[in-house]
Structure 1
Amino acid sequence: MSRKRVLIIDDDARNIFALKATLKARSFDCLSCGSAPEALDLLKTGEPVDAILIDMMMPEMDGYEAIPLIRQIESRKETPIISVTAQAMVGDREKCLRAGANDYISKPVDVDRLLRLLSQL
Structure 2
Amino acid sequence: MNKKILIVDDDPRNIFALKLTLKSRGYQIESCTMAQEAITILKKDNQFSAVLMDMMMPEMDGYEATRIIRSTPLISNIPVIAVTAQAMPEDRQKCLDAGANNYISKPIDVDQLIHAIEKLP
Which TM-score bucket, shorter chain as reference? over 0.9
CA deviation digits over 1:47-76, x for unaligned, max 9?
421100000000000011110101122122
Q: Match for residue 62 of structure 2?
A: 63
SS at the partner of 2:48?
A: coil
Q: What TM-score comes out, normalization by structure 2 length?
A: 0.95
**Partner deviation per Cα, 1:22-71 (whole Å, 9 max, x = no partner):** 00011100000110011111111134211000000000000111101011
Match of 1:84, as an amino acid?
V
RMSD: 1.0
- Could you list the structure 1 runs, at least 4 aligned residues long, displaced by more than 2 angstroms after superposition: none
- Equivalenced residues, count: 120
Structure 1 distance, partners of 2:60, 2:92, is: 19
> How do 1:50-89 and structure 2 match up within 5 A?
50-89=49-88
Contact 2:46 2:78 in 1 (8 A): no
Q: Give the Cα–Cα distance (whole angstroms) in 2 for the partners of residues 94 and 88 of structure 1.
A: 10
Amino acid at match of 2:67: P
2: CA distance, partners of 1:7 / 1:42: 9
Q: Which blocks of at least 5 consecutive residues in structure 1 are unaligned?
A: none
Matches within 5 A, 1:97-116: 97-116=96-115
Q: Structure 1 counterpart of 2:44, which letter?
A: T
d(CA) in 1 for partners of 2:70, 2:111: 27
Greater displacement, 55-64 / 71-80: 71-80
* Identity rate, percent: 56
| CA distance in structure 2 between the aligned counterparts of 1:97 and 1:14, rounded to whole angstroms | 25
Normalised TM-score (structure 1)? 0.95
